Structure 1
Amino acid sequence: MLKQHLQFKLAQKLSPQQIQLMKLIQLPTQAFEQRLKQELEENPALESGKESLEMEDEYSDSLDGDMDSETIDTEDINIDDYLSDDEIPDYRTQTSNYSPDEDEKSIPYAAGVSFNQYLMNQLNTIYLNDEEWAIAEFLVGSVDESGYIRRTIPDIMDDLAFTQNVYVDEEAIEHVLKVVQELDPPGVAARSLDECLIIQLKRKPPTPSIELALEILDKSFEHFTKKHYSRLLQKHGIEEEELKEAISEIEKLNPKPGGSYSGGNKIIEHIVPDFSIKIVDGELELNLNARNAPDLHVSKEYNNMLEGYKKSKERTKAQKDAVLFIKQKLDAAKWFIDAIRQRQQTLYVTMKAIMDYQREYFLTGDERKLKPMILKDIADTIQMDVSTVSRVANSKYVDTPYGTKLIKEYFSESMKNVEGEDVSTREIKTILENVIGEEDKKKPLTDDKLARILKEKGYPIARRTVAKYREQLGIPVARLRKQI
């Protein structure tokens, strides 16, 4: 049975302006510049460049006067006196937007061809009949960014028949594949890692070490990948020094030949630090990247429109609609300017709290000085929400005397040492990395042994925790760290 009833409920909701402000805070410098450019293009009432502070006061006075959108009078303004018929904004026609001493803000990119096109250009220099050319073209198109063909010959044969109307047997495809594998970089178009390495070795002048390396890859690839050196010595009847030389030849090879191609088909990623920390006279100095603090002001032309409206006497609905549009744009411009200022303040205050919290580290660069720090520590310090601190930390970089790093890297959990003191997990990872770096590579330390060593150093952590930290550091298990 359906019933109607009233229910009262209290709820908190973010306004659209608050949501946009959170998004602005989250943006790193380069993305922020794009957002700023977009706003300048979409809102003609917003302008960049230095302007008198009286402009904002004039705008506020205009809004506080007779411009209430609910009680607006439909006075007749001659909008043509204020608006140009030219649809091209003034800023698009200006070529001297910056002074000669300003830094160039655009980053040029070199043009280039794709990796597959690079292979096709080489293929054009080889004589092939029509059928072979169709196969070769299809094989080159199947090469991925790493330089491999991840398809089986039967699959390629079926695709050639269905998509290219080329009916050939596996032998014909194998023949053309050998031709494609002669292209540069060496190892390209291989179907597996061992085939890729073998192709590269065959390009080198034959020596005893290379011959042995080829034999190991061809007949004992699994033992090689698992570093079962004793089995390799026994199976191939060789001395330890011979095995070491063969492995040395294999280690010089490139497991991803496509990665060596330096064409211009990929966008180069540039990191622009949002902050910089310097040591001046023994004290830390924090600066916000100037590109995060643009000069913005409300358009004087649009303010003049409001003044013209107040002085006009004739009234029409069309002019009222036009003035409401102008007021809307002015409101949006004023809010955006305030949001940018609030963004600058939030970024600076958050980073300043992080810098003060980790003062010892930023003065020395010693990662052992990094204190345990979680988002809530900084949020409590600056009296802001944890989500705000997270938005700043997850996407911003800081330039320090010890390199440019992502801010979130300075956050870490804590654990107690044998003396009951809180230490950063980052400190434990640094010690773990140093212990592994100093181990005997012929007998690498297992996770159990690493846990015992850390416990002796005053860090009682379990073996599974050691394994987790080791994986986070990108260090393989003991078996794969073994060297002959």
Structure 2
Amino acid sequence: MLRQSLQFKLSQKLSPQQIQLMKLIQLPTQAFEQRLQEELVENPALENGKEENLDYDDEYGDSNDDYDDYEGERIEAEDINIDEYLSNDETPDYKYQANNYSDDDEDNSMPFIAGVTFHQDLLNQLNTFILSDDERDIAEFLVGSIDDMGYIRRSVQDIVDDMAFTQGIYTNEATVEKILSIVQELEPSGVAARDLQECLLLQLKHKTPTDSIELAIDIIKNQFDAFSKKHYDKLLQKYEISKEQLRKAIDEIEKLNPKPGGAYDGNQKPIEHVVPDFTIRIVDGELELLLNGRNAPELHISKDYQEMLQSYKDSNEKSNSQKDAVQFIKQKLDSAKWFIDAIKQRQETLFVTMNAIMHYQEEYFLDGDETKLKPMILKDIADLVGLDISTISRVANSKYVDTPYGTKLIKDYFSEAMKNDQGEDVSTIEIKKILETVISDEDKKKPLPDDKLAEILKEKGYPIARRTVAKYRELMDIPVARLRKKI
């Protein structure tokens, strides 16, 4: 049985413009510039740079206009108030915006040299070897199997099968092993190894033989497990040598490169550049915050599009094609207007958020001592600036700030609070810094285990459990005591 009923429901729904604004806020400087260029290409009504004629008024309506036109509803040309887009009642806000960054302050793009890639360099080196056609095909296939770190992470049998199925090269494991030994003679030494042990052995065999080198080769070849676990007492007992002899052998091993391919100078890998979104300076003992000028582009509405509207308004006879053109122009002008407003809101949101963080951590930014960082969570800043926690998260997770103490990700300044022995709230960053200092000052011959580290922190006024110490140590990529041991 069918029934009709009336139901009232209260719900919140983000408009497409609000969603786009959140996405803009989340973008770091470089990604924002790319998004800006995309919008300039997609919307011909939007132009970048200063206007040629500053006396020409580009007013295009009240900033509080509704943008529901984008939901697919068609507005007839007769219903469009063209005067809203040609009004000279007031000057638009963007004309009052000042950009105090000169062209000299802008970061110019740097061209990259076109060098030889890692794999191409290896192939070039193969030309110095006398090989038959079949051997060269196998050697080139092996070079192609080397990853960016310099390793071949496949078994010889898999390589033999792969060459047969994909290249039509039929060979056997003995032949591949023979050619592999030739490929392993290429530079950098250690390349084409199948595991770390083989990589270290290849590098040691390229060195001039000495007593220490010979001992190091024997250790890696026959006692690799004991060496990797730093069981030095077992090695001393096994080889019946002094600590000084073992130390020299270990020093030779520590000089080796576990990732020979990663050290290749000509390797054309993508280079990531961090562009700070903010800059904090200390001027006369006071903190000064600057927003990167690349986040404040000069945008304006195209005069050509407004002239098209004016022509339509002045014409006596309005054809269907003209009406369609007016609807298109209105859509582009509304979109351009919204984008300019969104960028202005983005600038304001970024600045007020970072300004609140800067003053919240003022003691740290004036001194640079990480132990002076206060416990700070997203809600603390959200309450200060009156924004949602999700907005603060978008700013903190993807933005960098240039300080007198280095360029850092903003989210690194956020931390939970813990109680010290006096009942005061201290930042977990402070505890990690002290833990790092304690570990760096320890006797490396007898590294401190986690329970001992917990006791030392407790003596310093930070009563935390051993498992918490282990968690902080792992977060800082500090190995366990056994692996920190040095002979």
TM-score, with structure 1 as normaliser: 0.91
Counterpart of 2:40 in structure 1 is: 40
Q: Which amino acid aligns with 1:9?
A: K
Cα distance change of structure 1 residues 63 and 345 upon mapping to structure 2, 3 Å threshold: closer
Answering whether residue 129 of structure 2 is matched by residue 130 of structure 1, we say no
Q: Once the 2 structures are TM-superposed, how far is the Cα of residue 5 of structure 1 from its aligned partner?
A: 4.5
Matches within 5 A, 1:45-444: 45-51=45-51, 58-60=59-61, 70=75, 72-73=77-78, 101=104, 103=106, 105-444=108-447
**Conserved? CA contact 2:26–2:398, under 8 Å:** yes
**Conserved? CA contact 2:115–2:268, under 8 Å:** yes
Q: Once the 2 structures are TM-superposed, how far is the Cα of residue 3 of structure 1 from its aligned partner?
A: 6.2
Q: Once the 2 structures are TM-superposed, how far is the Cα of residue 440 of structure 1 from its aligned partner?
A: 0.6
Q: Distance in 2 between the 1:47 and 1:341 partners?
A: 15
Q: Distance in 1 between the 2:59 and 2:429 partners?
A: 53
Q: Distance in 1 between the 2:107 and 2:411 partners?
A: 29
Q: Once the 2 structures are TM-superposed, how far is the Cα of residue 161 of structure 1 from its aligned partner?
A: 2.0
Counterpart of 1:80 in structure 2 is: none
Q: Distance in 2 between the 1:381 and 1:271 partners?
A: 28
1:250-308 per-position Cα deviation (integer Å, ceiling 9, x unaligned): 00000000111122521211111000000000000000000000111111121122222
Q: Residue 475 of structure 1: which of 470, 478, 481 is its match?
A: 478
Q: Distance in 1 between the 2:260 and 2:267 partners?
A: 16
Q: Which amino acid aligns with 2:223?
A: S
1:336-384 per-position Cα deviation (integer Å, ceiling 9, x unaligned): 0000000000000000000000000000000011000000000000000
SS in 2 for 1:58: coil
Q: Distance in 1 between the 2:103 and 2:44 partners?
A: 26
**Conserved? CA contact 1:55–1:297, under 8 Å:** no
Counterpart of 2:92 in structure 1 is: none
Q: Distance in 2 between the 1:321 and 1:106 partners?
A: 41
Q: Distance in 1 between the 2:246 and 2:281 partners?
A: 51
Q: Distance in 1 between the 2:176 and 2:203 partners?
A: 21
Counterpart of 1:89 in structure 2 is: none
Q: Once the 2 structures are TM-superposed, how far is the Cα of residue 168 of structure 1 from its aligned partner?
A: 2.0
User: Where does structure 1 lack aligned partners over 5 or more consecutive residues?
Assistant: 78-97
Q: Once the 2 structures are TM-superposed, how far is the Cα of residue 63 of structure 1 from its aligned partner?
A: 12
Counterpart of 2:28 in structure 1 is: 28
Q: Which amino acid aligns with 2:119?
A: N
**Conserved? CA contact 2:76–2:327, under 8 Å:** no
Cα distance change of structure 1 residues 356 and 54 upon mapping to structure 2, 3 Å threshold: farther
Cα distance change of structure 1 residues 292 and 408 upon mapping to structure 2, 3 Å threshold: same
Q: Distance in 2 between the 1:102 and 1:395 partners?
A: 23
**Conserved? CA contact 1:56–1:298, under 8 Å:** no
Cα distance change of structure 1 residues 316 and 74 upon mapping to structure 2, 3 Å threshold: farther
Q: Once the 2 structures are TM-superposed, how far is the Cα of residue 114 of structure 1 from its aligned partner?
A: 2.6
User: Which of 128-137 and 197-206 deviates more?
Assistant: 128-137
SS in 2 for 1:319: helix
**Conserved? CA contact 2:450–2:470, under 8 Å:** yes
SS in 1 for 2:408: strand
1:34-60 per-position Cα deviation (integer Å, ceiling 9, x unaligned): 111111111111111123777666322
User: Which of 222-231 and 103-112 deviates more?
Assistant: 103-112
Cα distance change of structure 1 residues 363 and 379 upon mapping to structure 2, 3 Å threshold: same
- Please provide the CA RMSD for this pair: 2.3
Counterpart of 2:89 in structure 1 is: none
SS in 2 for 1:60: coil
Q: Distance in 2 between the 1:28 and 1:62 partners?
A: 26
Q: Distance in 1 between the 2:13 and 2:324 partners?
A: 30
Aligned residue-pair number = 460
Q: Which amino acid aligns with 1:269?
A: E
Q: Distance in 1 between the 2:294 and 2:303 partners?
A: 24
Q: Once the 2 structures are TM-superposed, how far is the Cα of residue 100 of structure 1 from its aligned partner?
A: 7.4
**Conserved? CA contact 1:350–1:382, under 8 Å:** yes
Q: Once the 2 structures are TM-superposed, how far is the Cα of residue 102 of structure 1 from its aligned partner?
A: 6.2
Q: Which amino acid aligns with 1:474?
A: D
Q: Distance in 2 between the 1:2 and 1:182 partners?
A: 82
Counterpart of 2:15 in structure 1 is: 15
1:101-146 per-position Cα deviation (integer Å, ceiling 9, x unaligned): 5645323122123322221111122111122112111111110111
**Conserved? CA contact 1:110–1:264, under 8 Å:** no
Q: Distance in 1 between the 2:241 and 2:229 partners?
A: 18
Q: Distance in 2 between the 1:4 and 1:113 partners?
A: 74
Counterpart of 1:81 in structure 2 is: none
